[in-house]
């Protein structure tokens, strides 16, 4: 019962919200452009409960709450691009207008892209809400101590230096120091500091150690050998107005997207730390831990998971939204859709990649739990 309350329920609530927003993005633009929608599902498998709306869409919640889908009228799956001539023969003139495949290329592209971008919008709204009602930290980060024989000590960073930037990103809060260092995918980190009103830059090669994150979970951490403290021991947290909150919310969302993309590139280069990749088990564990810290913390993790869901779905992998957008790019170049046979070949590749990723992340999750 404790596991149910502490981990499973918060996880289901979080996943339901971010999946609903994602699928509603698809649904909203499908309805806007006259595409028929037969199913709007949260989860997969057997339906637990649901209802039909006036337009005939079945809204349902299914037994396996690890995703969702919107099924369009006449399609075998969410965004299948069947051979159009054969498909059109099955329907009368009125029903043909409801088919997804007959819509202009730009409308199909918007419908597909709307899901991931709805996730980004949700994150922006959450961050803006937090910054307006809870506040955003603007405490300058001053180096309190430089440990001997560490990367920072070796390059000449000193106690009392004020950190102004990391890898070209302006550091506006003491909270950003660890985030910027650990999200770096480069071999060296460019630390910009101010010392005696003079700006200086140091290239530091961090060490990677096995430590614990803020929640007590095991994690590989990059360290350069410094301890930071608030400048003049003063915490500066401000509640922001709507426009300023929105600006920083967009900035934070973009930072996560950019860091995610850099991580993907680093994996292809063989320098990324794949041990930190996690699946549903790890997400459920972290969600439960964060939920115990309060509503604002829970909203924050929801925003980050929403960004991750949107980002992953934009990857050019068949079966994901990005894969369909890739098909539409081919269609634009070729002047015609790819054949069903060609797309099915791509889908098999995509299925293999997704199953491999699921296996790998599940292995990491079980390893994190000490089962391997």
pLDDT tens digit sequence for 187-227:
888 999 999 889 999 999 988 887 666 656 676 788 888 88
pLDDT, averaged across the chain: 84
Number of neighbouring beta carbons within 10 Å of residue 319: 18
Q: Which of 95-109, 134-148, 153-167, 238-252 has the highest mean pLDDT?
A: 238-252
Q: Which whole number is the average pLDDT over 47-51? A: 92
Q: What positions carry a catalytic annotation? A: 23
In the chain the domains, ranked by start, together with CATH numbers, are: 2-36+79-133+304-368 (no CATH), 137-238 (2.30.42.10)
227 vs 5, which has greater pLDDT? 227
- Strand 207-212 relative to strand 218-223: parallel, antiparallel, unpaired? antiparallel
Number of neighbouring beta carbons within 10 Å of residue 156: 13
Position 369 pLDDT exceeds 60: no
- φ, ψ at 258 (rounded to 5°): -65, -40
Q: Using 50, 70 and 90 to split pLDDT, how confident is the model at 135?
A: very high
Task: Provide the pLDDT for residue 364.
Answer: 61
Position 106 pLDDT exceeds 60: yes
Position 22 pLDDT exceeds 70: yes
DSSP per position, 220-248: EEEE-SEEEEEGGG---EEPPPHHHHHHH
Q: Which of 77-86, 114-123, 340-349 has the highest mean pLDDT?
A: 114-123
Identify the bridge partners of residue 18 per DSSP, sorted by sequence position. Answer: none
Q: Which whole number is the average pLDDT over 247-273? A: 84
Position 80 pLDDT exceeds 50: no
Position 78 pLDDT exceeds 60: no
249 and 125 Cβ atoms separated by less than 8 Å: yes
């Amino acid at each position: 019962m404790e596991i149910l309350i502490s981990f499973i329920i918060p996880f289901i609530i979080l996943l339901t919200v971010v999946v609903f927003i994602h699928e509603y993005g698809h649904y909203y633009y499908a309805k806007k452009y006259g595409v028929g929608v037969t199913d709007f599902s949260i989860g997969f498998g057997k339906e637990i409960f649901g209802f039909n709306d006036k337009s005939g869409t079945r809204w349902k919640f299914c037994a396996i709450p690890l995703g969702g889908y919107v099924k369009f009228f006449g399609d075998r799956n969410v965004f299948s691009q069947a051979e159009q001539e054969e498909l059109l023969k099955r329907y009368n003139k009125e029903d043909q207008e409801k088919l997804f495949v007959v819509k202009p290329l730009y409308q199909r592209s918007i419908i597909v892209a709307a899901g991931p971008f709805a996730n980004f919008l949700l994150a922006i709204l959450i961050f803006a809400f937090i910054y307006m009602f809870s506040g955003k930290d603007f405490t300058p980060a001053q180096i309190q101590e430089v440990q001997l024989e560490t990367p920072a000590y070796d390059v000449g960073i000193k106690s009392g230096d004020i950190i102004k930037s990391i890898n070209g990103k302006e550091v506006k809060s003491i909270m950003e120091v660890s985030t910027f260092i650990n999200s770096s995918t480069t071999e060296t980190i460019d630390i910009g500091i101010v010392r005696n009103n003079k700006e200086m830059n140091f290239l530091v090669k961090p060490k990677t150690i096995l430590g614990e994150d803020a929640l007590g979970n095991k994690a590989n951490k990059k360290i350069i050998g410094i301890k930071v403290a608030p400048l003049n021991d003063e915490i500066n947290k401000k509640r922001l107005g709507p426009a300023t909150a929105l600006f920083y919310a967009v900035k934070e969302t973009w930072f996560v997207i950019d860091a995610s993309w850099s991580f993907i590139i680093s994996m292809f280069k063989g320098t990324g730390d794949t041990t930190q990749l996690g699946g549903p088990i790890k997400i459920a564990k972290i969600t439960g831990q964060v939920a115990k810290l309060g509503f604002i913390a829970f909203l924050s993790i929801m925003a980050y998971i929403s960004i991750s869901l949107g980002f992953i779905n934009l990857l050019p992998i068949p079966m994901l939204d990005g894969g369909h957008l890739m098909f539409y790019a081919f269609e634009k170049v070729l002047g015609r859709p790819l054949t069903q046979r060609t797309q099915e070949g791509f889908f098999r590749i995509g299925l293999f990649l997704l199953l491999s990723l699921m296996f790998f992340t599940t292995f990491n999750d079980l390893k994190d739990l000490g089962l391997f």
